[in-house]
Amino acid sequence: MFDDKMLMNLQSTLSSSGILISFSGRFSQGIIEELGEAIMKHMEAEDRPRNDIYNVFAIFVETTHNIKKYALSKEGSKFYDPIYNSGIVTIGRNNEGYYICAGNLIEKADADRLAAQLDSLIHLDKDQLKKRYKEQMKKALPPDSKGAGLGLIDIARKCSKPMSYSMRSIQDLSFFTLTVTV
C-alpha cells in the first residue's frame, strides 16, 4: 500500500528532478488535452517565450499520441493490456531548458525498427532534418501505414539538443523511453 512516507518521497524525487507534470497509465484524448493545457498555462505564467511553449506542447502531444496509437494498434495481442497500461510522460525543467520524457512498453519485434528510425535522426543537424521532413512528406504512404512518418522528425526539429532514447528488455517486451529537451 502507498503510504504518507512513500508519497512524501515521491514528491521530493519529483521536485529534485524538476518535474512539473507526470502521468502514468492509459492515455485518453481528454487526459492528453488536460495535461497539455496545464503545462501551457504553467509556462505562460512563467512568461516563457511563445516558441518554447509551442514546442513543448507539440512534443508532448506527439509523444503521448504515439503512445496511445501504439497501444491501440496492439489490440488483440497477448501483450495488449500491459502495453496499454504502460504509458508514462513527465515534463520538467532543468538548467538546459524544458524536457519531455515519455515511455511505454513495446513488443520486441517493433524495438529494432524504432531504434533504427531514431538512430537515423539523432545525428542530423537542423538543415538535414528539414530536408528529411520534406522528403518524407513527398513519399507515398504504404497501405498498412499508421501515419506519414513525420512525428519523430518533427520532434527532432523542435529539440534544442539531440533527443535520446533507451530500450530496456522486460521479458517478451521492451520498455522504450524517449527524452527531448527544448
Q: What are the pLDDT digits (tens) for 21-31? A: 999 999 999 99
Convert the pLDDT of each residue in 147-177 to its tens digit: 657 999 999 999 999 999 999 999 899 999 9
Q: Are the CB atoms for 91 and 56 separated by under 8 Å?
A: yes
pLDDT number for residue 143: 62
Amino acid at 62: E
132, 152, 182, 169: which is closest to 65 by C-alpha?
A: 152
16-181 in CATH: which number? 3.30.565
Residue 125: partners with Cβ closer than 8 Å, 6 or more residues away:
none
What are the sequence ranges of the domains in the chain? 16-181
